[in-house]
């Protein structure tokens, strides 16, 4: 497989079909599900189809959700002229259960494909004598890891969602589901990752597969993130150390080629897992974020000025490389340049919009470990956290204007949240980073949320938004009205939004 084959393999969707975001029993080309699973090649194609489904194949694919869920509730994105009404309402904290962004069918579409491989794949061992248990185990490791990653997105976005672990391959097996608790969802995520850890490959033999498919290193990175959300700091450090100590990843030097290598070419030496777009399947982000008047989003100027303060006495070469010309482009109307620029100065053409979506890269591992140490109580943990942050800042040529030297937990938390915003601007992490750090120790740092609201909300709406964010239930999206109706009365709404549902 190379990076350009992933989307082409959506032919798997024809082989497996899709109806109401589940699978047909008999797809349009006449191949039944049971007839499909005949060889190792069929299993391989189905696994590739799971990755391809992240890019498209459902009405709300994960490639779109990962940006919208992670950014629109935070303070780095500002609405622009062509923003959808649903997305504008999310950005303005005016959320109702009929908002299209509250649909999670893209995640469950891929989860069902994973479940189908896990259920149907082992039977191929009895049909294809050349297919080995070891090969099936590696595929199983990938599918368990991908399923865990998707549920991790869901639990952070919705808090409680249905937990579906069986494939739905016909309408007769579509069942109504109640919500699983946050605790049960995290238990399943951890169980899937623990089982996959013994199975998943470390190396697929070439760079594009190692970045475009889930590996053992990607699994350990996901584990670190999952543990961080549960305040399991020693486990976070252990998982991060497995990646750091592997010698497989390093920060791309912050020279003039940095932007192109990381964001334009993709699959760099610091990449751990990326969604692979191509000329055959362009990403959706360019049209959302370009300098065109038809774009949906712009960078929030106030937040950019907070994160990247301008020093009029400094030389241009002294600026943080992640600021103007990387995260955003001031001369381009504050467009989100990571998805628009062909380099730091020139905009891409629309037919060149095939930059990958970076799910995890090495800088994330360093900063997750720093966050775990900042919340630990070892005698040198604070200093060790600062050293990790400094690695990321040194690569970025970050100026002293944004540097912190204090090692107390409060100062380090603010520093890490801000540094993650600078490093991962518009990479789908901002809302999750703010929420994770705000809610720790019984919402000890709720000021992180209120500061965010003040930076992004129009003055006439600030009081209402602050009042809503005071309630932790509002920190998670509602389940869409259609999902509640389809599974009523088993599926219960997030109680913050019940009044909007007339009891549903």
ω before 489 within 30° of 0 (cis)? yes
Tens of pLDDT, residue by residue over 161-185, are 999 999 986 554 556 789 999 999 9
CB 335 within 8 A of CB 295: yes
Residue 315's pLDDT is 82
Residue 89's pLDDT is 92
How many CB atoms sit inside 10 A of residue 444's CB?
14
* Residues 6 or more apart whose Cβ sits within 8 Å of residue 56: 7, 10, 63, 281
Tens of pLDDT, residue by residue over 345-390, are 999 999 999 999 999 999 999 999 999 999 999 999 999 999 999 9
How many CB atoms sit inside 10 A of residue 383's CB?
12
Residue 434's pLDDT is 98
Instruction: For residue 347, report the phi and psi dihedrals to the nearest 5 degrees.
Output: -80, 145
Q: CA 164 to CA 140: how far, in whole Å?
A: 17
DSSP state of 263: I
Strands (E), 42-198: 77-79
Pairing of strands 77-79, 271-275: unpaired
Pair of tokens at residue 406: 């204090």
DSSP state of 475: G
Residue 15's pLDDT is 40
Residue 27's pLDDT is 35
DSSP per position, 332-349: GTSB-GGGTBSSSS-BPP
DSSP per position, 412-434: HHHHHHHHHHHHTTTSS-HHHHH
Instruction: For residue 56, report the phi and psi dihedrals to the nearest 5 degrees.
Output: -175, -175
Per-domain residue ranges of the chain: 5-82+104-275
Q: For residue 89, what are the CA distances in angstroms to 98, 149, 234, 456?
A: 11, 27, 39, 13
Residue 174's pLDDT is 53
* Residues 6 or more apart whose Cβ sits within 8 Å of residue 466: 450, 453
Q: CA 355 to CA 283: how far, in whole Å?
A: 7
The dihedral over CA atoms of 193, 199, 204, 207, expressed in degrees to the nearest 10, equals 20
Is the domain defined by 5-82+104-275 classed in CATH 1.25.40.390? yes
Q: CA 121 to CA 475: how far, in whole Å?
A: 38
CB 82 within 8 A of CB 294: yes
What is the model's pTM?
A: 0.93
Q: CA 73 to CA 126: how far, in whole Å?
A: 49
Residue 314's pLDDT is 76
pLDDT under 70: residue ranges of the chain: 1-34, 169-175, 500-504
The dihedral over CA atoms of 334, 337, 343, 346, expressed in degrees to the nearest 10, equals -40
Residue 173's pLDDT is 53
């Amino acid at each position: 497989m190379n990076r350009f084959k992933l989307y082409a393999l959506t032919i798997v969707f024809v082989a497996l079909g899709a109806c109401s975001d589940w699978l047909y029993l008999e797809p349009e080309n006449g191949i039944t599900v049971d007839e499909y699973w005949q060889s190792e090649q069929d299993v391989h194609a189905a696994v590739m189809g799971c990755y391809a489904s992240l890019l498209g194949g459902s009405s709300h694919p994960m490639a779109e959700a990962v940006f919208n869920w992670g950014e629109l509730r935070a303070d780095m994105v500002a609405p622009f002229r062509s923003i959808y009404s649903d997305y504008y309402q999310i950005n303005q904290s005016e959320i109702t259960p009929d908002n299209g962004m509250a649909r999670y069918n893209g995640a469950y579409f891929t989860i069902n494909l994973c479940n189908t491989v896990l259920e149907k794949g082992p039977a191929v061992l009895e049909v294809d004598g050349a297919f080995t248990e070891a090969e099936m185990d590696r595929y199983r490791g990938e599918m368990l890891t991908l399923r865990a990653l998707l549920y991790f997105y869901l639990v952070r976005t919705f808090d409680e969602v249905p937990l579906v672990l069986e494939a739905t391959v016909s309408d007769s097996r579509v069942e109504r589901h109640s919500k699983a608790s946050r605790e049960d969802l995290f238990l399943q995520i951890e169980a899937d990752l623990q089982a996959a850890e013994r199975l998943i490959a470390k190396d697929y033999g070439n760079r594009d597969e190692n970045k475009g498919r889930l590996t053992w290193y990607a699994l350990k990175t996901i584990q670190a993130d999952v543990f961080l959300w549960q305040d399991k700091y020693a486990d976070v450090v252990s998982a991060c150390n497995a990646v750091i100590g592997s010698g497989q990843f390093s920060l791309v030097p912050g020279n003039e080629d940095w932007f192109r290598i990381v964001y334009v070419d993709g699959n760099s030496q610091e990449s751990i897992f990326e969604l692979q777009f191509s000329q055959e399947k362009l990403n959706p982000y360019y049209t959302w974020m370009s300098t065109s008047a038809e774009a949906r989003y712009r960078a929030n100027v106030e937040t950019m000025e907070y994160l990247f303060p301008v020093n009029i006495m400094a030389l241009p070469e002294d600026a943080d490389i992640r600021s103007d010309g990387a995260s955003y482009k001031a001369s381009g109307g504050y467009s989100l340049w990571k998805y628009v620029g062909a380099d730091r100065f020139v905009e891409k053409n629309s037919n060149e919009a095939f930059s990958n979506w970076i799910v995890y890269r090495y800088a994330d591992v360093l900063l997750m470990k720093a966050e775990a140490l900042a919340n630990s109580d070892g005698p040198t943990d604070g200093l060790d956290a600062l050293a990790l942050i400094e690695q990321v800042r040194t690569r970025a040529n970050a100026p002293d204007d944004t540097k912190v030297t204090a090692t107390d937990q409060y100062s380090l938390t603010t520093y890490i949240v801000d540094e993650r915003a600078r490093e991962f601007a518009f990479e789908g992490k901002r809302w999750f980073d703010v929420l994770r750090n705000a809610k720790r120790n019984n919402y000890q740092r709720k000021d992180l949320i209120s500061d965010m609201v003040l930076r992004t909300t129009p003055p006439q709406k600030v009081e209402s938004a602050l009042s809503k964010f005071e309630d932790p239930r509002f920190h998670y999206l509602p389940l869409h009205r259609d999902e509640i109706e389809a599974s009523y009365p088993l599926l219960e709404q997030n109680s913050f939004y019940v009044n909007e549902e007339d009891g549903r």
